[in-house]
Amino acid sequence: MSATTTAEVIAAVRAQFGPDFVLARVTAEEQVRTFLSERLGTMDAEQIVTLGRLINQHGKLSRERYDRFTPGFTGAIMSKLGSDPGTFNQMATQLWLEPIPDALTTLGKIFADRSSFPHAGSSLPSFLLYLRDPDQFGICINATMLGLAHETGSAYNAKSGPAYEKFCADLRAWRQQYGVAPQEADAILTHIMRANQPSTEQELPAKVGVEEVAEGCFLDVEQVDQWVQALSTGMRQGVFHGPPGTGKTHVARLLAQHLATSPAHVELTQFHPAYSYEDFIEGLRPETSDGGLRYEVRPGIFARLCERARHAPNETFVMIIDEMNRADLAAVFGELLYLLEYRDTEVTLPYSQRRLSVPQNVFLLGTMNTADRSLAMLDFALRRRFHAFPLPPDEGVLERWTAGRPDGNAELALGVFRLIRDRVGPDAPVSPGHSYWMTEALDAATAERIWDYQLRPYLAEYWFERPAELGRLDADVRALIAELA
Q: Give the domain CATH number at 233.
A: 3.40.50.300
Question: Do residues 250 and 327 both lie within one domain?
Answer: yes
Which domain-ending residue is among 162, 195, 228? Answer: 195
**Quick one: pLDDT at residue 129?**
96
Rounded to the nearest 5°, which phi and psi values hold at 431? -65, 120
Amino acid occupying residue 218:
F
145 and 216 share one domain: no
**Pair 190, 68: CB distance under 8 Å:** no
The pLDDT value given to residue 378? 57
Are 44 and 167 contained in the same domain? yes
Residue 203 domain flag: no
Domain-located, residue 227? yes
- What is the model's pLDDT at position 201? 45
In a domain, 69, yes or no: yes
340 and 281 share one domain: yes
In a domain, 388, yes or no: no
Q: Tell me, what DSSP letter sits at residue 116?
A: G
**Does 387 fall in a domain?**
no
Phi-psi region of 394 (alpha: psi -120 to 50; beta: other; left: phi over 0): beta
Are both 141 and 14 inside the same structural domain?
yes
d(CA 416, CA 168): 27
Give yes or no: residues 217 and 111 share one domain. Answer: no
Q: What are the residues whose beta carbons fall under 8 Å from the beta carbon of 289, sequence distance 6 or more?
A: none
Q: Are residues 188 and 214 in the same domain?
A: no
> CA-to-CA distance for 240 and 251, rounded, in angstroms?
8
Name the pTM for this structure: 0.78
Do 352 and 240 belong together in one domain? yes
Dihedral sign computed on CA atoms, order 67, 72, 77, 82: negative
Do 361 and 417 lie in one domain? The reply is no
How many other C-beta atoms lie within 10 A of the C-beta of residue 121?
A: 29
Q: Is residue 205 part of a domain?
A: no
Number of domains the chain is built from: 3
The single-letter code of the amino acid at 83 is S
In a domain, 106, yes or no: yes
Handedness of CA 369, 374, 375, 380 (dihedral sign): negative
Of 108, 94, 122, the residue nearest 36 (C-alpha): 94
> Per residue in 146-160, is it b (16+ CB within 10 Å) or e — as a string?
bbbbbbeeebbbbbe
Q: Half-sphere exposure (CA, 13 Å, Cβ side) for 330?
A: 7
Q: Do 397 and 218 form a contact (C-beta atoms < 8 A)? A: yes
* CA–CA gap between residue 368 and residue 239 (Å, rounded): 7
Provide the domain limits for residue 407. 395-440+442-483
324 and 190 share one domain: no
Would you state the pLDDT for residue 204?
A: 47
Q: What is the dihedral of CA 459, 274, 308, 369, to 10 degrees?
A: 10
63 and 97 share a domain? yes
Q: How does strand 237-242 pair with strand 292-299?
A: unpaired
List all residues 6 or more positions away from 201 whose beta carbon is below 8 Å from its beta carbon: none
- Look at residue 67 in the predicted model and tell me its pLDDT: 87
Residues of the chain with pLDDT under 50: 1-3, 199-204, 375-376
For residue 201, tell me if it sits in a domain.
no
Do 367 and 403 lie in a common domain? no
For residue 198, what pLDDT is reported?
A: 58
